Structures are given as C-alpha cells and as structure tokens.
Amino acid sequence: MEKFETFTYALGENLYINLTSKCTNDCIFCVRNEKSDYFGHKLWLAREPSADDVIARLPSGIGAYREYVFCGFGEPTLRLGVLSEIAQEIKKRGGTVRINTNGQANLIHKRDVTGELARFTDKINVSLNEATAADYAALCRPAFGQEAFYALQDFAKKCAARGIDTWFSVVDVIGEEKIAMCRAIAQSCGVTLKVRPFIA
Ligand code: SF4
C-alpha cells in the first residue's frame, strides 16, 4: 500500500486530523481494507505525525474551519499525548475540537481518560455500529473482544457526564429493529444516536 504524509485534510467546512493508521478494531467495512484514499485524500500514513507537524498545518486564522476533527483511518486516541497537545493548541486559539473514536480509549490506556479529554474536547462521536456485543465483535473484530462493546458504552457515558457533547453513530444499513435497540442503548448512556446513511 502506498503511504503518505496527509496529517490534515479538509472535508466540507471541517479540518480533519489524521494521527495514526493503527486501530484496535479491524472492521470488515473499514476503508483501510480497500484503498489508501478517502474522498481523494491519501490517508495511509508513511509515519505518524508529531504534535508540531500538525500544529504547523493549522491555519493562521482558526475560524477558517467550523470544527477540527481527530479522525483519519485509525483510532486517534491511541496517540492520546499528541492528540492532547494539538487539541489544547486549537482550544487556545478558539477552535472547536471533535473526536471521532471507537470509544475504546479507557481500555487502550487501562485508565479513565475522559477527564483529560473533557479539558479540550467539545464533541465526541463514538461509533456504536451494532446493537449487541456479539454482532459488534463480528462486525468490528475488536482486539479486546466483546468487552469493547460494553467499554465503549461506559466511555460514552463518562464523556457525557463530564459535559462533552457525546453521541453514538450507526449506519442505516443495520435496519430499523437494531436502530431502535441502539437508540435504547444511547438513552441508557445519556447520549444521542445519529444514524448515518451508508456510503459505498
Ligand atoms: S474503528 Fe474505524 S479505523 Fe478502526 S477498523 Fe473500524 S472503521 Fe477502521
């Protein structure tokens, strides 16, 4: 696979920040399995950026983008220290920080990191993806097994309790019945559910 240094990329009104190509999931639908680009952006990283690499690519006027989104191919919370440094810089300049995550940060770091995240994170989108632990494990193939499904719910609950605007996301292809189950899970965690259309 060809690799690049696409540490940031613009999509719509937002600037996306790509910290790693690694992930604790191996989702069967992950674009990492199919191609090296996403909407024309080459995201497989030749190397992981430092905080300075990314900060150097932020616009001088932070208002140039609506949100600064830690996303990319991989799981951004794997690089918590670097993420924290960049996000604090964005917040210092008055920007809005969002993290798109698989919700496994507390498992990855073996501690509750939501207090740290709350200091610099405005919004968190946690991929719920499925309605049961077994279905989640089959779809996302997490390194942590089915425990990941419960851990991501606990993570989202803690993020919301700390005042971060937190929501779960699912894709509409799972069907109405599962979407209703996911809505109940979201409600029990005190977060909202966003249902995204499937993008082939
Ligand atoms: S959580 Fe995201 S980056 Fe990780 S394997 Fe799944 S789709 Fe890919």
What is the per-residue pLDDT across 133-171, written as a single tens digit (0 to 9) for each? Answer: 999 999 999 999 999 999 999 999 999 999 999 999 999
Q: How far apart, in whole angstroms, are the C-alpha atoms of residue 199 and residue 184?
A: 25
Alpha-carbon distances, residue 185 vs 3, 56, 61, 131, 197 (angstroms): 38, 40, 39, 8, 20
> Which of 26-40, 46-60, 148-162 has the least mean pLDDT?
26-40
Q: Is the CB of 24 under 6 A from ligand 1?
A: no
The closest residue, in CA terms, to atom 8 on ligand 1 is: 30
Q: How far apart, in whole angstroms, are the C-alpha atoms of residue 47 and residue 61?
A: 27
Atom of ligand 1 nearest to the CA of 140: 6
- CA-closest candidate to residue 79, choices 152, 16, 167, 18: 18
Quick check: 41 pLDDT over 80? no
Q: How far apart, in whole angstroms, are the C-alpha atoms of residue 162 and residue 117?
A: 9
Q: How far apart, in whole angstroms, are the C-alpha atoms of residue 58 and residue 64?
A: 9
Q: Is the CB of 79 under 6 A from ligand 1?
A: no
Q: Is the CB of 30 under 6 A from ligand 1?
A: yes
Q: How far apart, in whole angstroms, are the C-alpha atoms of residue 66 and residue 62?
A: 9
pLDDT at 44: 84
Q: Is the CB of 21 under 6 A from ligand 1?
A: no
pLDDT at 73: 82
Q: Is the CB of 102 under 6 A from ligand 1?
A: yes
Residues sharing a CB contact under 8 Å with residue 149, sequence separation 6 or more, in sequence order: 130, 132, 133, 136, 137, 142
Q: Ligand 1 centre and the CA of 48: distance in Å?
A: 17
Q: How far apart, in whole angstroms, are the C-alpha atoms of residue 94 and residue 10?
A: 18
What is residue 32's three-state secondary structure? helix
Q: Give all domains of the chain, ordered by start, each with its CATH number.
A: 8-196 (3.20.20.70)
What is residue 26's three-state secondary structure? coil
Q: How far apart, in whole angstroms, are the C-alpha atoms of residue 188 and residue 123?
A: 19
- CA-closest candidate to residue 152, choices 196, 100, 195: 100
> Which of 70-74, 113-117, 118-122 has the least mean pLDDT?
70-74
Strands 41-42 and 68-70, bridge-based pairing: unpaired
The amino acid that residue 184 corresponds to is A
Q: Is the CB of 140 under 6 A from ligand 1?
A: yes
Q: Ligand 1 centre and the CA of 102: distance in Å?
A: 7
The closest residue, in CA terms, to atom 7 on ligand 1 is: 30
